[in-house]
Amino acid sequence: MCFTGNFALSMMLEPAMLAPVLSQPSLPMGKAAGMHIAPDELAAVKKRMDAEDLTVLAYRFEGDAFCKGERFAAYQQALGDRFQGRVLPDSAAKKGTKMKMPTAS
């Protein structure tokens, strides 16, 4: 989750990974539309997803300051229909955490 949320997509380079789920992918910090994956790796992931009819699920909270809508838009543009992004309402976040923004942990 959060800082490790991007790693599931990179793990798609390993044939054993069949169902990646990105939870609040926050890296790279400071680049709202950035994706923490090399362009050639992203192309390889997309090629595999197309060839094997796979999809990636991704979740973020509406008010997440680290994983913004721009990031999900970038994933959608890169992966097309293979990317299934879901935006959760802030009210679904765990209550009573030390984080000031919505979080699942």
- What is the distance of C-alpha 1 from the center of its chain? 9
Tens-place pLDDT, residues 37-63:
999 999 999 999 999 999 999 999 998
3-state secondary structure 17-34: CCCCEEECCCCCCCCCCC
- Quick one: tokens of 79? 């992966």
Give the Cα separation of 43 and 100 in Å (integer): 35
Residue 90 confidence (pLDDT): 86
Of the pLDDT bands very low, low, confident and very high (cuts 50, 70, 90), residue 104 is low
